[in-house]
Amino acid sequence: MLFIHLLKLKIRNSYTEIQTMELHHHPDLHHKEKKFKEYFLEFLMIFLAVTLGFFAESYREYLNNNSKEKEYMISLIEDLKSDTAFLNLSTHTLIPYHLKWMDSTRNLLQTPGHTGKDRMVYQALIFGTAWSYDFHFNQRTLSQLHSGGFSVIRKNEVVDAISRLEGNYKLFSPVIDVMQSMQNDIDISSYGFLDGTADYNAGKIAFENPLFPSLKLSDVPATALVKWQNKNAMILYADKLDKYSFYLRTGIRDDYEIFCKEIAETIKIIQKEYNLK
């Protein structure tokens, strides 16, 4: 009986505790409506965060473009200096060298007395027609600029200078085509009085170093004979040689000198705009 009485008392106390807990004040779970000032501050913070992110990204892209821009200009100057080196070599060394041997070839063919001159004619003709200065402009950096690189070039004066130079490059292309056509025509006409096989064998020896051909008289094959009786063929060849010699002096060499000046001016503009040496 005592056990039952204690159990009832326990139940009664538990019930009383539950009722007491229910009488406690519950917190207000409903949020109060924010004021306009709080909304405005939140908006301002978000706006500033987005704006700063945008400016940070823009600045990063700006720095990246600046780096690319300068790299393009350094690369272009290297290309232009390479072009200038070849133009100067052609103007002051290769072209005068070939002109001298063209004059020698013409004199040998037109001077009376042919005994012992056969090998000299082959040597002079090969040296006079060893054209190794055909100029093709370096397109390494220009091709990159045309593939999207121009979009990072901010200096209008530099863009204009590059465009002018490239325009002159394109105008010069037909000149190269004419020169090559004249070279081929001269080569073909020489077989009217030369032995083709002997000329080919002598040329192989001479062109072991294509830039600076070398051919001793002793290297010219004994079969390298001139058909002196074919006077008309030699006159025709000499005439073609005269025309090409004039074209080389007044066309190619003068154009090369002009290009050197234009390239130097372009390099000067780039170096000034980008503080390059």
Residue 124's pLDDT band (cuts 50, 70, 90): very high
C-alpha 15, offset from chain centre: 94
Distance CA 60, CA 32 (A): 43
Q: Which residues contact 127 (CB under 8 A, 6 or more apart)?
A: 97, 98, 101, 104, 206, 213, 215
Q: Residue 226: helix, strand or coil by DSSP? A: strand
Torsion angle, alpha carbons of 255, 261, 267, 271, to 10? -170
Specify the pLDDT at position 7: 41
pLDDT at 118 over 90: yes
pLDDT in tens, 191-204: 999 998 999 899 88
Name which of 93-102, 125-134, 157-166, 231-240 the model is least confident about: 125-134
Between CA 167 and CA 161 the distance in angstroms is 10
Longest dimension (CA), the chain: 160
Cα 213 to Cα 37, 55, 207, 274: the distances in Å are 88, 61, 5, 41
Q: Strand locations in the chain, DSSP E?
A: none
Give the pLDDT confidence score for residue 159 in this predicted structure: 92
Of 238 and 61, the structure prediction assigns the larger pLDDT to 238
Residue 240 scores a pLDDT above 90: yes
Q: Where is average pLDDT lowest: 36-45, 70-79, 136-145?
A: 36-45
pLDDT tens-digit profile of 60-87? Answer: 555 455 678 889 899 999 999 999 999 9
Q: What is the DSSP string of 100-167?
A: HHHHHHHHHHHSS--TT-HHHHHHHHHHHT----------HHHHHHHTTGGGG---HHHHHHHHHHHH
**If you average pLDDT over every residue of the chain, what do you get?**
81
User: What mean pLDDT is predicted for residues 128-152?
Assistant: 84
Band of pLDDT at residue 222, cut at 50, 70 and 90 = confident
Q: Look at residue 271 and tell me whether its pLDDT is greater than 90.
A: yes
Whole-number pLDDT of residue 13: 53
Whether 16 has a pLDDT exceeding 80, the answer reads no
Q: What percent of the chain has pLDDT over 90?
A: 41
| pLDDT band per the 50, 70, 90 thresholds, residue 57 | low
User: Residues 108-116: what's their mean pLDDT?
Assistant: 84
Considering only residues 18 and 117, tell me which one the structure prediction assigns the higher pLDDT: 117
